[in-house]
Amino acid sequence: MILGALLSKGVQFKLKNLRKTGSVTHPFWDRVVFKKTRALLGGNVTDITTGSAPINKDTLELANVTSCLIVVEGWGMTENCAAGSRFERRQMIGQVQGQWHGAALLN
């Protein structure tokens, strides 16, 4: 019951902070609550990219704060080019990036 309350409080605090500052990390909550989430991802993950279709805003925000990483939505099919078409590490939630500057798209 106490762990559930800590998790809920940590998620709510980090969501508020994400929406205000764009930051997905917090020294206290990451050390006390979310270090286990990072460990489930292997502990050394630095980037997470998704592709295919845009993700629901609430789902993406939750993934950001619980993984302590910016989950970037890529452009194109996941298996082909989503990771290669990212522009910035930080991006707006729900904004799937377009093509590289100067790159032509084939019809």
pLDDT in tens, 30-39: 999 999 888 9
pTM higher than 0.75: no
What's the rounded Cα separation, in Å, for the pair 6 and 25? 16
Give yes or no for residue 26 having a pLDDT over 60.
yes
pLDDT in tens, 52-84: 677 888 999 999 999 999 887 766 565 556 556
Hey, how many other C-beta atoms are within 10 angstroms of the C-beta on 37?
A: 16
Average pLDDT taken over every residue of the chain:
79
**C-alpha distances in angstroms, 59 versus 53, 66, 81, 104?**
13, 11, 22, 32
- Tell me what the mean pLDDT of segment 18-35 comes to: 93
- 3-state SS class at 48: strand
